[in-house]
Structure 1
């Protein structure tokens, strides 16, 4: 589903149009740009809610927000990569899968 700016502001209790525009300018929220207006996805709305929770509920300073968002983005990226690796392992012949999983299960030298 796609949301307009007005729908995003209506959906998130503490959000104002000014805050949304500021966060877009900062790059914290990156909506899709159309020919005449921008739209927001459900993921964008969830990110807006997260920023509101960080700044309003948890009193995180605005200088820390981009750091937190970057870390979250990195975690999501790593999860996507891990899913791709798991899918690739699952497609391997049983002896190869067993060898990979055995190697993963080994404890690294400390």
Structure 2
């Protein structure tokens, strides 16, 4: 885990008050409390994503919550699909596996 100051340096010398604004807007969710935040690797990746969305893709402050929410939903769905794939890859009841595979195949259309 890293501090706010370290995060700011790592993501390109972004001002701490700007990152604090992201926290206040709930775009970043570090551990700890104001003045004593600790950021995980995933928080650093999300901060970099925010910068990329803003600087490279032109997403403004009004659009950022929508884009981040959609990306969060996409990543959650991907994690669920990976878990489902792992669950059906384990040899179990063949009938159940066949039904789940048929359902997934029908969803592709």
Normalising TM by the smaller chain, what interval?
0.7 to 0.9
Structure 1 residue 106, shift from structure 2 partner? 4.2
CA distance in 1, matches of 2:107, 2:43: 39
Report what 1:94 is aligned to.
94
Give me the TM-score of the superposition, normalised by structure 1: 0.82
CA distance in 2, matches of 1:101, 1:3: 43
CA distance in 2, matches of 1:52, 1:60: 9
> Over residues 59-105 of structure 1, what are the superposed CA-to-partner deviations in whole Å (9 max), with x where a residue is unaligned?
21110001000001101111122122223222322343234323433
CA distance in 2, matches of 1:108, 1:68: 25
CA distance in 2, matches of 1:64, 1:11: 25
Give me the TM-score of the superposition, normalised by structure 2: 0.83
CA distance in 2, matches of 1:107, 1:17: 45
- After superposition, the Cα gap between the structure-2 partners of 1:95 and 1:60, relative to the gap in structure 1 and judged at 3 Å, is same
Report what 1:85 is aligned to.
84
Structure 2 unmatched runs, 5+:
none
Q: How much is the aligned-residue C-alpha RMSD, in angstroms? A: 2.2
CA distance in 2, matches of 1:14, 1:58: 20
Bigger shift: 97-106 or 72-81? 97-106
